[in-house]
């Protein structure tokens, strides 16, 4: 896929911004590609990934209700919206307890389904004001970017650290149930 985008004349920088703006993968995928595949300097990769990751946030915070209504007009769209909102509501209980700091920490943990997209949906569902939600998500994205960048720069050691961390979280999550 990346080769196809490069073949179309899309720059490496634009690819990193685009990947960072995508739901689920966000900067957690963009930074390893930028640093380890494109051999981009970490500071450039970091800045591009944070910018890309924050691009959808204002749109989601301001227009999520309208977007959800439009997408929900079809049966498949309604099911998808319901699934995303329900999943975010379950995660949102953690955010709700600590509000702005909870939202920041939720977004800062670089795991699947804890990034800027889910944080934006959570902020919307909790009715947080745009200013507070945007700043909390921005700080969370900055922290997540620093963590992922550090892990990328550590190479295999970073991969092992990330694997052990994810494994530990999975075991703890399973154990708590």
Q: What is the pLDDT of residue 168?
A: 80
Q: What is the pLDDT of residue 176?
A: 64
- Number of folded domains that form the chain: 1
Q: Which residue has the higher pLDDT, 143 or 85?
A: 143
Domain of 17 in residue numbering reads as 2-176
Residues 87-114, mean pLDDT to the nearest whole number: 79
- 3-state SS, residue 65: helix
- Of 143, 150, 134, nearest in space to 105 by CA: 143
- Assess whether pLDDT exceeds 70 at residue 87: yes
Residues 107/136, Cβ–Cβ less than 8 Å? yes
Which residues, in sequence order, are CB contacts of 18 under 8 Å at separation 6+? 5, 10, 52
Beta strands in 88-166 (DSSP E): none
| 90 CB-contact burial (10 Å; exposed 0-12 / middle 13-18 / buried 19+) | exposed
- Range with the poorest average pLDDT among 12-21, 37-46, 104-113: 104-113
High-pLDDT (> 90) share of the chain, %: 49
Residues 80-97, mean pLDDT to the nearest whole number: 75
- Assess whether pLDDT exceeds 70 at residue 94: no
Residues 113-122, mean pLDDT to the nearest whole number: 89
High-pLDDT (> 70) share of the chain, %: 92
pTM as predicted: 0.83
């Amino acid at each position: 896929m990346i080769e196809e985008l490069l073949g179309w004349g899309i720059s490496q920088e634009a690819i990193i911004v685009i990947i960072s703006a995508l739901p689920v993968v966000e900067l957690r995928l963009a930074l390893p590609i930028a640093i380890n595949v494109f051999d981009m300097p970490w500071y450039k990769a970091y800045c591009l990934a944070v910018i890309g990751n924050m691009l959808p946030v204002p749109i989601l915070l301001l227009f999520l209700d309208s977007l959800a209504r439009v997408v929900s007009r079809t049966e498949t769209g309604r099911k998808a919206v319901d699934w995303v909102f329900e999943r975010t509501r379950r995660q949102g209980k953690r955010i709700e307890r600590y509000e702005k700091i909870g939202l920041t920490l939720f977004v800062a943990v670089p795991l699947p389904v804890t990034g800027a997209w889910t944080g934006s949906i959570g902020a919307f569902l909790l009715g947080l004001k745009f200013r507070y939600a945007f700043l909390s998500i921005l700080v969370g994205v900055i922290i997540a970017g620093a963590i992922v960048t550090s892990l990328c720069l550590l190479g295999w050691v970073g991969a092992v650290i990330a694997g052990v961390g994810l494994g530990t979280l999975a075991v703890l999550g399973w154990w708590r149930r």
